[in-house]
Structure 1
Amino acid sequence: MNLDERAINQQEQIMPYIDALPEPALVVDYQGVYLNCLGGSDSTKHHKLHTLIGKTHHEVLPARVADELNHAIRRSIDGNCLVEHHYSIDPAELKFVDHSTGPCHVQHFTALISPVSGKKQAIYTVSNITAHKKMMEKVERQAKELERLTTVDHLTQCYNRYALDKLLPNQLKKACNDGHNVTIVMVDLDRFKPLNDQYGHLYGDLVLKLIANCLMKHCVDVYRYGGDEFLLYFEQLGAEDLPTLAKNIMFDIAAEGENQHVPETLSVTLGIAHIDTLSKIQDIESVVAKADQALYQAKHAQRGTFHIL
Structure 2
Amino acid sequence: MQDVADQARTSKTTAHYVLTGQDQKLRIAEETRRRVLRAATELRYRPNLMAKGLRTQVTRSIAFISDTVATEAYAGNLVYGAIAAAAEHGYLLFVCETGGDPELEASLIGDLASRHVDAYVYASLFTREVQIPAELHFERTVLLNCLAADNSSPAVIPDERQAGRDAACALLDRGHRRAIWLVGEPGEQVLAGAQRTEGIRQALSDAGTELAGTVDCKWWPEPAYEQFGAFLDDGGDPSAVICLNDRVALGVYQALKARGRSIPTDVSVVSFDDSDLAAWLQPPLSSIALPHRQMAAEAIRLLMTDGALAEHPVHVAMPVRLRESIGPPRS
Which band: TM-score by shorter chain?
under 0.3
TM-score normalised by L of structure 2: 0.25
Q: Which has the larger radius of gyration?
A: 1
TM-score normalised by L of structure 1: 0.26
If asked which structure has higher relative contact order (CA below 8 Å, sep 6+), I would say: 2
Higher percent of residues as helix: 1
